[in-house]
Amino acid sequence: MRTLDVGFAAHIVGGETTLANCWRITRSDGVVLGFTDHDGTLTFDGTDFGPAHGLDGAEAPAKLGGQVDTSQVLGVLHTDAISEDDILLGRYDGAEVESWRVNWADVSQRLLLRRDSIGEIVREDGVFRAELRSSQQGLNARHGRIYQGLCDAELGDARCGVNAASAAFRGAATVEAVEDAYRLRVSGLAGFEAGWFAFGSALWGAGRREGLRDGVIGHARNGAADVLAFGVAGEWVEVGDTLAVTAGCDRRFSTCKTRFGNAVNFRGFPHIPGSDFVLRHPRAGDALDGRAVVK
């Protein structure tokens, strides 16, 4: 049950109210944006909430139990606030949204209604519709570990132990050509062996993807040129864009042992038989003596 400030409660029961809705969006990159359905800018908690020109919030039914409460925010795309490019680039995926009810005549009288995260965003005819998911969404996340042959640590994290900040694992590259929507020809990585950055990551330092981090699917060398493969990047990248790339790991025990000398910190289960081993039937000459699958 919510408890209202005495002054706010008195204002609501007074009959004539001056209420407005406010939304504060905090993106994963730290950018904070404030919007309101009032016709003037409201300021509180260090955030300016500007008029949203058509932003509208739907009703949010409260569900019993552990079900995820969902609502929607509907609004018109405009370049000085929420641009379509930023939505397409995923800058708002998982962003936190605070929904406030505010007395615009006295912003000290306000109530935090919900704290949600942005789920699916649909764009059509210049209008976006963002799904808001309640904090129960966190209960759907996977917790714990999976018993599998591959390592489940991230290269360079505390469980891995490799110093990924070392110059041996970091490179600076510049886009020389866009091969297609998935492959970019870059310069600056000649000092590293081919494949060194496969399964790694790239942090964009300039261009339309500035500040975004993408996974590197592959790293090949064609003559003197290095080619990095991504999920989809080409249509958002131009010649001259820069990126900082970090070496990758395919999470296999052999790679951890030979490339990084880090077998002691391997976080997988390399001796577990794979599906091909489980489904295989015994054959004459097979060594069924309990030896380790991986040496």
Q: Which of 139, 154, 184 lies at the terminal end of a domain, its last residue?
A: 139
Q: Which of 89, 122, 139 lies at the terminal end of a domain, its last residue?
A: 139
Is the same domain home to 122 and 228?
no
Is the same domain home to 10 and 113?
yes
Is the same domain home to 10 and 115?
yes
- Look at residue 60 in the predicted model and tell me its pLDDT: 47
Is the same domain home to 38 and 102?
yes
CATH number, domain of 110, equals 2.40.10
Is the same domain home to 122 and 229?
no
- Look at residue 253 in the predicted model and tell me its pLDDT: 93
Buried b (16+ CB within 10 A) or exposed e, 80-99: ebbeeebbebebbeebebbb
The residue among 188, 165, 162 whose CA lies nearest residue 175 is 188
Is the same domain home to 129 and 183?
no
| Cα angle value 195/160/212 (rounded, 5°) | 60
Which amino acid, one-letter code, is at 66? Answer: G
**pLDDT tens, position by position, 209-253:** 888 888 999 999 988 889 999 987 767 888 999 999 999 899 999
Is the same domain home to 227 and 123?
no
CA dist., res. 73 & res. 94, Å (int):
14
CA dist., res. 143 & res. 146, Å (int):
9
Is the same domain home to 195 and 131?
no
Is the same domain home to 135 and 177?
no
The answer for residues whose C-beta is within 8 angstroms of residue 36's C-beta and 6 or more apart is 20, 21, 22, 23, 42, 49, 50, 51, 52, 102, 104
The answer as to whether 152 is a domain residue is no
- Look at residue 278 in the predicted model and tell me its pLDDT: 67
- Look at residue 73 in the predicted model and tell me its pLDDT: 58
Which amino acid, one-letter code, is at 9? Answer: A
- Look at residue 28 in the predicted model and tell me its pLDDT: 83
The answer as to whether 147 is a domain residue is no
Is the same domain home to 39 and 119?
yes
Backbone angles phi, psi at 165, to 5 degrees: -80, -5
The answer as to whether 19 is a domain residue is yes
Where in the sequence is the domain holding 39, given as residue range(s)? 6-139
Written as one string, the DSSP assignment of the chain is: -----HHHHHHHHTS---EEEEEEEE-TTS-EEEEESSSS-EEETTEEEEE-SS-EEPP----STTPPPEEEEEEE--TTSS-HHHHHTTTTTT-EEEEEEEETT-TTSEEEEEEEEEEEEEEETTEEEEEEE-GGGGGGS--S----SS--SPTTSTTT---TTSGGGEEEEEEEEE-SSSEEEEES-TTS-TTTTTT-EEEE-SSTTTT-EEE--EEEEETTEEEEE-SS-GGG--TT-EEEEE------HHHHHHTS--GGG--S-TTS--HHHHHPPP-TT---S---S--
- Look at residue 184 in the predicted model and tell me its pLDDT: 92
The answer as to whether 265 is a domain residue is no
Q: Which of 246, 271, 287 lies at the terminal end of a domain, its last residue?
A: 246
CB 20 within 8 A of CB 26: no
The answer as to whether 252 is a domain residue is no
The residue among 54, 46, 118 whose CA lies nearest residue 87 is 118
Owner of token pair 């009032």: 38
CATH number, domain of 230, equals 2.40.30
The answer as to whether 60 is a domain residue is yes
CA dist., res. 170 & res. 99, Å (int):
41
Positions of the chain with pLDDT under 50: 54, 59-60, 63-69, 79, 295
**pLDDT tens, position by position, 102-133:** 999 999 999 998 888 887 777 776 677 777 77
The answer as to whether 255 is a domain residue is no
Is the same domain home to 15 and 88?
yes
Is the same domain home to 134 and 13?
yes
Domain count, the chain: 2
